[in-house]
Amino acid sequence: MRPDDKTGGPAYPSVRSTSTNKGHTIDERRYFRDRGVTVRDYFAARAPEMPDSVWGGEPDLSDDTTRAAYFAVRAMWAYEFADAMLSARGDVP
């Protein structure tokens, strides 16, 4: 992982075999920065449920504006958790 990477790198890095022009096969670890799930995304997906007290009680999800705001707050909650996990691992300064 590069030190400037704030995502923890790929959660599932892929390894592929590449043939050289001399007929040899080498394994290369390929990190696709714009594809797949990062460790940060994985931690966010595994974040605990946001307590209702963060929102201020049970939300009225029948209202489009309230529903959009509620899920935006839930996403922020999950990524705050993920950032704390990365920080605890030492992946984020």
Residue 55 domain-assigned?
Answer: yes
Number of domains in the chain: 1
Residue 63 domain-assigned?
Answer: yes
**What is the per-residue pLDDT across 45-78, written as a single tens digit (0 to 9) for each?**
999 999 888 888 888 899 999 999 999 999 999 9
pLDDT at 31: 47
Task: Please tell me the pTM assigned to this model.
Answer: 0.65
Residue 58 domain-assigned?
Answer: yes
CB 22 within 8 A of CB 28: no
pLDDT at 64: 93
For residues 79, 84, 85 and 86, what is the CA-based torsion angle, rounded to 10 degrees?
Answer: 90
Residue 5 domain-assigned?
Answer: no
**What is the per-residue pLDDT across 18-48, written as a single tens digit (0 to 9) for each?**
555 665 555 555 544 456 688 899 999 999 9
Residue 2 domain-assigned?
Answer: no
Residue 7 domain-assigned?
Answer: no
pLDDT at 84: 93
Residue 25 domain-assigned?
Answer: yes
Domain that holds residue 61: 14-89
Residue 8 domain-assigned?
Answer: no
